[in-house]
Chain A
Amino acid sequence: MAPDLTTREKLLSDRVLLQYEVEQFLYAEAALLDARQYRRWLGLLADDIHYWMPIRRTVTLADIDREFTKLGDMAYFDDDRTLLEVRVRKLEAGSAWSEDPPSRSRHFVSNVRILEIAGDEITVEACFHLYRTRLEADIDSWVGRRVDTLRRTDAGFRLAKRHLFLDQTVVQSTNMSTIF
């Protein structure tokens, strides 16, 4: 007979369970991208997703609030679902030369922390490392922090927000034709 859980144990066990669910979702999502299963990846997105990567700059400590561009100003990505669908159709086109021959990518997600739970939405912070190789010897390595919002639905989590904060100022890449 299982012993009764104390309140503290119950809370902890709920948190562990949620952490597990969130991480498993993020890993499964990453695996779809690495396997170039872009259509299935689109299936994990909420209709109102906001996918955004502001521009990062080298600024002094006194100006640190200007390190990233703000919402509504210039960005590397500032996409809604329609734009992400364009990106996927482009990847599938057979004429997206920057991704055909296809890149080889590996999406690492770590340091996953649940920041907030509000109704059916969970805000998750994580570190990302997207490693991409292309052609003979092109290597891109993008590291940063990201803040995702996962929305719980009857069909499982849906990604409602992905905000990416890259650890580069001059992007050391020919392009960013890969999905982060």
Chain B
Amino acid sequence: MADGGQDLRAWDRAQLLALFDPATGALDRRVLSDEALYQLELERIFARGWNFMCHDSQIPEPGDYFISYIGEDQVIVVRDEEGGVNVLLNTCRHRGNALCRAEQGRAKSFVCSYHGWNYALDGRLIGVPGLKTFYHNDIDRSRLGLARARAENYLGFWFATLATDAPALRDYLGDVGRTGLGMICANGEVEVVDGVQKNVISCNWKIAVDNLFDWYHVPYSHASANTAGFLDIAAIQHPQSQMVMLGEYGHAIGGPGIPRERQDQIDAMSDEERAAASRAAPPNSPRIRPRAARDLMGPVGVRSEGHPNIFPNLWITLGGLQMCLRLPRGPSKTELWWFTFVPKGAPPALRRAMIAQANHVFGPAGILEQDDGENWSQSTRSARGFSSRGLGQYIGMGLGHDQAVAGEDGEHYIESAVGEHGQRWLYRAWTEWMAARDWTELKANHTPPPTGPV
């Protein structure tokens, strides 16, 4: 079958579903290396899903744009004269040239640098040099506007999909996705801090996503951060009080959870009492969120101190301070983009402290993040060796030892020690997305979040 590490056959449904076995936790390593699978991911995962674009505050005025990606499709996210946001494929309909080369800016319209075709902020083709003299007015401009993605926002976070049959964003996010975005806004409305850190890692995007659910690696991968006195890993890991939330279509949250009894105490406090308790609490105490957070995150989600992932590739971290996009750049390459948010009108000292935390923990120079990339690169590398590829990944921690329960608002969650429920949910959803030819098939053939033994 394979030559040069690549299986160039088309994958059929049964083969795709067999790439991960949720009953044993065995993952076929070809999901990290196979070119044909990667091409299928661009179609069935990225073009189909809702992809994070940017935040409202990055494009406040008409004409403001930010360049983002749906998989490897580059898109212009631009606010138009009416205040709406358009997500347009950054490719001229004439010869395919990119209309925007800057990664952000402000434009009145988008003029192609090749032959001067001109597009309005909503993507309509409004100018064609030589329309009369060369084209003899024989061109249907209404059919040659920029290709558009569907764009919707939740709490000011803009997402886009290339699937016309995708569910509405709010439904797509479900309780888990909404908890994740709500975590960012738990202390009030936010604005982005200027500057998106970007770097490229020689790894498959999924191993980076897998890692965000992984609270097992923390004491080992990040041992040096502990030794250097940067943080106290024992105080942040909470290995025995983890809460995993599983959402429809692959969204999940993994990481520490605030014990129910403690949250009950918090829920009984006024916002003033919460603020005072927060100030008095020792470092690394459970987070005391304001009352409004419960509406945004739900009665179970508000107890999460973990890492939400909005399927496929949007990680929300540091209690909602940052998000990290993992953009695919081939089976063995991933770009990481870090967005940072602070409450609107935050006092300067608080803003400084939040930005310092973001700058020092994550990003390519981050004291924690530095050590992750090489693990992911080496894991990806071994998926290319003929024999090492055949070994599979073992994602079996906690399998069969825990119970998923339904919360009062229908949330599905698991309270246990450190485990790999989030990773199994990720890969299981991934196989189902890959096996489905469209949203109709995916809606009909995906595993609902479980209750009972997991």
Chain A interface residues (CB < 8 Å from chain B): 53-55, 57-60, 62-63, 66, 69-70, 72-79, 83, 86-87, 89-90, 93-99, 169-177
Contact = CB atoms under 8 A, between A and B. Distances in A.
B363 A170 contact: no
Contact of B367 (A62, A63, A78, A87): A87
A150 B227 CA distance: 31
A169 B103 contact: yes
B228 A170 contact: no
Interface string B262-277: 0000000000000000
Contacts of B229: 86, 89
Interface residues of B, number: 44
Given A70-B194, A74-B195, A94-B224, 4 more contacts: A54-B195, A86-B367, A171-B198, A175-B370
B224 A171 contact: no
Contacts, number: 135
Contacts of B221: 97
B102 interface: yes
Given A73-B195, A174-B374, A78 B228 contact: no
26 contacts: A58-B103, A60-B102, A63-B106, A72-B355, A73-B194, A73-B195, A74-B194, A74-B197, A75-B195, A76-B363, A78-B356, A86-B367, A87-B228, A93-B227, A96-B224, A97-B374, A98-B371, A98-B373, A98-B374, A172-B200, A173-B200, A174-B200, A174-B374, A174-B377, A175-B370, A177-B365
Of A98, A99, A174, chain B has the most CB atoms within 10 Å of the CB of: A174
Chain B contact residues: helix, strand, loop or mixed: mixed
Interface string B347-359: 0000010011011
Q: List 7 A-B pairs, minimum CB-CB distance, nearest first.
A: A74-B195, A174-B373, A69-B195, A89-B228, A96-B224, A93-B224, A171-B199
A97 B364 CA distance: 14
Contacts of B200: 170-174
B59 interface: no
B102 A98 contact: no
B284 interface: no
B78 to A, nearest CB: 14
B224 A90 contact: yes
B28 interface: no
